[in-house]
Structure 1
Amino acid sequence: MHKNKNSKHNAFFKKLSFGFLTFVKLLKAVLTERQFLYFSCVIVAVGSALAVTVLKLFAHNVFHFTVYINRLLKLPYLNSLLPVIGILLTVLIIRKFLNGSIEKGTSQIMIAVAKKSGIMPAKQMYAQIITSSLTVGMGGSAGLESPITITGAAMGSNYAQVFRLNYKDRTLLLACGVAAGIATAFNAPVAGVLFAIEVILADMSVSAFIPLIISSATGAIMANLTLNEGILLSFKRGLFFDYHNTPYYILLGVVAGFVSVYHARLFRKVEHGMSRYSDNVYRRAFVGAALLATLIFLFPPLFGEGYENIKSLANNEAGLLLDNSLFEEFRNNQWVVLAFVCLVMLVKCVATGLTLGSGGNGGNFAPSLIVGSYLGFIVAKVIGLLGIKNVPLDNFTVVGMAALLSGLFHAPLTAIFLIAEITGGYGLIIPLMLVSSISFAISKRYDKYSMDIHAIADQGTVFTSDKDRNILNRIDIGSLYISELEVVNEPVSMADVRKVFTGFIQDFVPVMTASGQVRGIISFKDIKEQLLSSDEFSLEKYINTPNISSIDDGAFMIISLMEQSKNDNVLLLKNNVLMGYVTKDLIMDSYRKNLKKLRIE
């Protein structure tokens, strides 16, 4: 009987899927290309919004279930053990059911756009939901927004693949999924659009805004239908700006810039150190989770996403953060509370690094907002306790979120409008603009790349917000280089060089050693007058150091080498064997073709 029920359910879902696919294919045949794109962005947005709902509800309910169990069983330190279980379960599921690995971080979306023609694995549509729900829902100190954006992007990408849409439409639907995810997670449609533009898309025309706007609006509508105010991060209470506090907001922006640099660098060190700790993934997961459990034991606010802590700070109830901690009895001592909040702010990046480095899944979006709220509260509280001025704690708490988000993700517009939307208006738009721009400028001065893409940028792989670099790194040097290249061997004779330059179309000749290594090159322009002479003479002084690169290096690195050396030719090696050469003209011609192909309209 049970098997019959399952088979009936499976048959029903198969028929439903087939009917949906048939319906969409019929629409595609009837509608124009642009009309079908508008329809598609709504479908992708609904799917992305439903994924956000599942993630948010799971994490929210697990958190409140934990609080309930703590009160029922009087086990105040159970929170310290749950992340260990969550991270171990996450690693187990990844190893047993997800082929041993999943891609983490919004940087994976950027790689898909820049290097993989906007194609993302189908498993990302469900893998992120399962793994991040377990990690964050059971107390891992990370955020759900990164998994949300990857899930939305994967839905857009795979939808486009199913219906055979071209690269431009595929990339646009990928961005639509991201915009809808952010819009749903925060009920912030403008922030969803801006995040997709600032972080995901390299270049786009004005007409591409329409699908993003439709998707983001759809996500916000779904948020209102499926998520209540208790789950959404919301401060709808009319916050206003007093221009007399401008110097203190400027101070907050400056401090936030340096805290952003501190947070990003220490997070990278902890995550990389933890990820290299052991080849045994279970041992690594257990050790990392145990260290995280120790931190949560000392600082309970590190448990989970932590959005409820922001509300406590904004309501001037910071003493609640000391609940279930070793310092609970000092909750009414303002200086102790201030010191505790400061310590939590400083170790949040360590907790997030341990969570992700040990094998858990999550992101840095929520931690950036948490740390920003702590910093805003600290600055306002210090100003008040020192007797300088009583500045509004709630204003500084929410404005601090924008400052850290801007500094860490290098996305000031997203930061400004996200906080403006979750506060229910634009009463704080001026301080939001001030702190976001100052924090961004200082962070950019010390960290060229945002924290999510720093690692891949170091490898020269991709940096999507840099349009030129993005396009250059799409170029496949392996299919572009010239393999027909005449060489001369040592000892070099004038006759050999003359034979190459008179018989072949190349303006330089590589000089090879007896072992097959490139010793240098002789340029035609350096020796053209001597070629007319029949005399034999030493060519040593004409052998110059060549530009040499691996055939696997990206076009961006090769162009950079050309510009540094002021030489438009680069020899290409593979496993120390000379394969040929590439010219600047060849790369730039390919760049122009890709530029036209990549522009999203």
Structure 2
Amino acid sequence: MIRLTLRMPYYKKTKIPLLWLRRHTSDREFMLISSVLVGLTAGMAAVVLKTLVHYIHELLAYGNRLLDQPYWLVIFPLIGILLTVFVARTLFQGKPSRGTASVLFNISQKSSMVERYNMYFHVITSALTVGFGGSAGLESPIVVTGSAIGSNYGREYHLNYRDRTLLLASGAAAGIAAVFNAPIAGVLFAIEVLLTDISISAFIPLIIAAVVGTLCSKIILQEEILFYIGQREFFAAAHVPFYVLLGILCGMMSVYYTRMALRVEELFEGYHNKVYTRAMVGGVLLGLLIMLFPPLFGEGYTSVSLLESNNAQMLLQDSWLAFFGTNEWLVLGFVGALALVKVFATTITIASGGNGGNFAPSMFVGATTGFFFSRLVNLLEISRLPVSSFSMVGMAGILSGVMHAPLTAVFLIAEITGGYTLMIPLMIVSATSYALVKYFEPYSLDTKKLAQKGQLLTHNKDRTILRIMKIRHLIETEFQPVSPDATLGELVQVIAHSRRNLFPVVNAEQKLEGVILLENVREIMFKAEKYDTVKVKELMVRPPAMVQYDDSMADVMKKFDESNAWNLPVLRQDQYLGFVSKSSIFTKYRKLLIKTTNV
């Protein structure tokens, strides 16, 4: 209570100026101001997270003396995952969801409302996971954090769904931009991954937030904390066929990455109610993998830098393979193995209870794939390829394939390499990889499960709105039920006091036995001599179709089309709940269409 009392006056003081601005500025002006504030906050959150991970790693390394001992590579990741699970269980009751998929779920199913604790939960837990060596990326936690900041800002100032969604995406854009010093990539990520429908006017807040987020990291963070690579080699048109082949290889690796990640997740679902057992099993497995392949420790950007600078032999320094020397073919085999096992390390980190994402691991796999391909071609003397360029372009290929975000991948690599000299090969590899992956995997790794549950927003507006709509929000209960044993006279009394021309026939167990249509009893209802002799069960008819409570809206519309009915009864198992009508569906559809358009 004391802490709350101390915090409230400060909170009110910071809120008052913005409330004044809300009243004295236009909606557009307030959105521009809001995008600056959201971008600044999300950018600072990214700075804090990157700094925490950097210094946790520095503290554990203790001048690299501890990490020289193989057993520490097993212990540290295990400690990190256990700490993450402990924090999630004790401080957050184990409820927080993780990854970009959780943001997409909140957009589609919760009107872009992201829980408040996501503004700081992911900063704490992902710092523990990755700082202690968990083989995952920080980008997904930053996306969720930035999205939560934007969403809660919009909720605090009572913005509508469109503006709240735009600020949510602005927070995510600022987070990605701050991590990589890449404002264009941040904007494109928000558009490709989070926003399914966007107008030109929405670009301005996204751009402002991304620029502000980038400035935060550029001004505050030291160069060694940021991932930046200076481009040294140029594009040669003669290498185009090899870039096409690399794109195909990246597409195949992306399909492998997606499918293997989902399979490993399924293996850990058996430990659903045994969180600490799951953390122990996952932590030990991860530690053993890292002991065999030390470059799997942490995000992996240091290893990517070594590949880019053509110093791959240094990856073997802490590995048991160093005993055999640094033979060219040994290095090549080691890098190829890294590309294959990274997906296991990352998925084990996340599935066992750690917090992180697949963004950085995708780039790691891309760099190792590009290096492996180009070095193999060079060793076989088929051609002389620039290994550095192929390593960088491979990052874009896997990123576009796993995340289904080719534009983000192209401009991200262009920005972190400090120029656009690789733009043509980036486009070739990203487009080829994305096209191949899309054929085998219509949905990205982060969205596949949501799509299977029908909870994913898509660029098909009609399908998106149908997925948002739920039967439980459309049930009409003002229909007057009648008993099957009721007489015609009793039915006439019910009809006289009802505004409807449809009457459900429900027995004592609340089970629907049929329906009475007013048009079917119009003639007999005026024959008073039959009021006591004719029963309702003699007049009822079977409804043309019945809707279950958990039916998707697509299934409901199909039943309406096939039955040509205007109203259909809704049941939960056998229990009667009410009716759903075409008119209520069309009314809700129009409202949602207005709500979700022109974001």
Class of the TM-score when normalised by the shorter of the 2 chains: 0.7 to 0.9
Equivalent residue, structure 1, for 2:150: 156
Q: Does 1:353 align with 2:353?
A: no
Q: Does 1:582 align with 2:580?
A: yes
Equivalent residue, structure 1, for 2:303: 309
Residue 378 (structure 1) shift:
1.0
- Can you give the 5+ residue segments of structure 2 that lack an aligned partner in the other structure? 486-493, 520-537
| Cα distance in 2 for residues equivalent to 1:164 and 1:438 | 44
- Can you give the 5+ residue segments of structure 1 that lack an aligned partner in the other structure? 1-5, 492-499, 526-538
| Cα distance in 1 for residues equivalent to 2:116 and 2:543 | 51
Residue 201 (structure 1) shift:
1.2
Q: Does 1:549 align with 2:557?
A: no
Residue 29 (structure 1) shift:
2.7
C-alpha spacing 1:330/1:524, structure 2 compared with 1 (3 Å) = farther
C-alpha spacing 1:432/1:581, structure 2 compared with 1 (3 Å) = farther
Equivalent residue, structure 2, for 1:99: 93
Q: Does 1:230 align with 2:228?
A: no
Equivalent residue, structure 2, for 1:363: 357
C-alpha spacing 1:174/1:333, structure 2 compared with 1 (3 Å) = same
Q: Does 1:599 align with 2:593?
A: no
Contact 1:66/1:79, CA 8 A, preserved across alignment: no
- 1:148-196: per-residue Cα shift (whole Å, max 9, x none)? 0110011111112222222222111111100100110111111111111
Equivalent residue, structure 2, for 1:178: 172
Superposed, 1:376-395 pairs within 5 Å as: 376-395=370-389
Q: Does 1:82 align with 2:91?
A: no
Contact 2:506/2:576, CA 8 A, preserved across alignment: no
Contact 2:363/2:395, CA 8 A, preserved across alignment: yes
Superposed, 1:15-54 pairs within 5 Å as: 16-54=10-48
Amino acid at match of 1:453: T
Contact 2:545/2:563, CA 8 A, preserved across alignment: no
C-alpha spacing 1:268/1:570, structure 2 compared with 1 (3 Å) = farther
Q: Does 1:283 align with 2:277?
A: yes
Q: Residue 451 of structure 1: SS of its match in structure 2?
A: coil
Q: Residue 234 of structure 2: SS of its match in structure 1?
A: coil
Greater displacement, 321-330 / 392-401: 321-330
Residue from 129, 150, 153 that aligns with 1:135: 129
Greater displacement, 317-326 / 576-585: 576-585
Amino acid at match of 2:589: Y
| Cα distance in 2 for residues equivalent to 1:258 and 1:594 | 39
| Cα distance in 2 for residues equivalent to 1:444 and 1:555 | 26
| Cα distance in 1 for residues equivalent to 2:567 and 2:371 | 56
| Cα distance in 2 for residues equivalent to 1:60 and 1:73 | 15
Residue from 448, 467, 477 that aligns with 1:473: 467
Equivalent residue, structure 2, for 1:496: none
Residue 483 (structure 1) shift:
4.5
- 1:316-352: per-residue Cα shift (whole Å, max 9, x none)? 1111111211101335211111111111111111111
Residue 504 (structure 1) shift:
11
Q: Residue 363 of structure 2: SS of its match in structure 1?
A: helix
Amino acid at match of 2:595: K
Residue from 119, 123, 143 that aligns with 1:125: 119
Contact 1:558/1:570, CA 8 A, preserved across alignment: no
Amino acid at match of 1:263: Y
**TM-score between the two structures when normalised by the length of structure 1:** 0.87
Residue from 59, 63, 78 that aligns with 1:65: 59
C-alpha spacing 1:14/1:520, structure 2 compared with 1 (3 Å) = closer
Residue 77 (structure 1) shift:
3.5
Q: Does 1:274 align with 2:272?
A: no
Q: How many residues align?
A: 587
| Cα distance in 2 for residues equivalent to 1:296 and 1:235 | 25
Equivalent residue, structure 1, for 2:523: none
Residue from 311, 318, 325 that aligns with 1:324: 318
Q: Does 1:341 align with 2:338?
A: no
Q: Does 1:452 align with 2:419?
A: no
- 1:67-122: per-residue Cα shift (whole Å, max 9, x none)? 33542685244122101000101111111111222110111111111121211111
Residue from 191, 195, 205 that aligns with 2:199: 205
| Cα distance in 1 for residues equivalent to 2:565 and 2:99 | 38
| Cα distance in 2 for residues equivalent to 1:522 and 1:448 | 46
C-alpha spacing 1:243/1:479, structure 2 compared with 1 (3 Å) = same
- 1:340-394: per-residue Cα shift (whole Å, max 9, x none)? 1111111111111111111111111111111111111111111111110111111
Residue 208 (structure 1) shift:
0.8
C-alpha spacing 1:402/1:72, structure 2 compared with 1 (3 Å) = closer
Equivalent residue, structure 2, for 1:264: 258
- 1:198-231: per-residue Cα shift (whole Å, max 9, x none)? 1111212111111001111111111210123322
**TM-score between the two structures when normalised by the length of structure 2:** 0.87
| Cα distance in 2 for residues equivalent to 1:397 and 1:307 | 12
Amino acid at match of 1:150: V
| Cα distance in 1 for residues equivalent to 2:58 and 2:460 | 42
Residue 126 (structure 1) shift:
0.6
Contact 2:546/2:571, CA 8 A, preserved across alignment: no
For the aligned residue pairs, the C-alpha RMSD in angstroms reads: 3.8
Residue from 99, 108, 132 that aligns with 1:114: 108
Equivalent residue, structure 1, for 2:571: 573
Amino acid at match of 2:32: Y
C-alpha spacing 1:325/1:574, structure 2 compared with 1 (3 Å) = same
C-alpha spacing 1:583/1:261, structure 2 compared with 1 (3 Å) = farther
Contact 1:87/1:135, CA 8 A, preserved across alignment: yes
Greater displacement, 121-130 / 591-600: 591-600
C-alpha spacing 1:56/1:557, structure 2 compared with 1 (3 Å) = farther
| Cα distance in 2 for residues equivalent to 1:149 and 1:57 | 17
Residue 400 (structure 1) shift:
0.7
Residue 588 (structure 1) shift:
3.8
C-alpha spacing 1:561/1:178, structure 2 compared with 1 (3 Å) = farther
Greater displacement, 564-573 / 15-24: 564-573
Amino acid at match of 1:424: G
Contact 2:254/2:402, CA 8 A, preserved across alignment: yes
| Cα distance in 2 for residues equivalent to 1:555 and 1:524 | 28
Superposed, 1:441-520 pairs within 5 Å as: 441-483=435-477
Amino acid at match of 1:197: I
Q: Residue 468 of structure 2: SS of its match in structure 1?
A: coil
Q: Percent identity?
A: 43
Greater displacement, 238-247 / 353-362: 238-247
Contact 2:60/2:66, CA 8 A, preserved across alignment: no
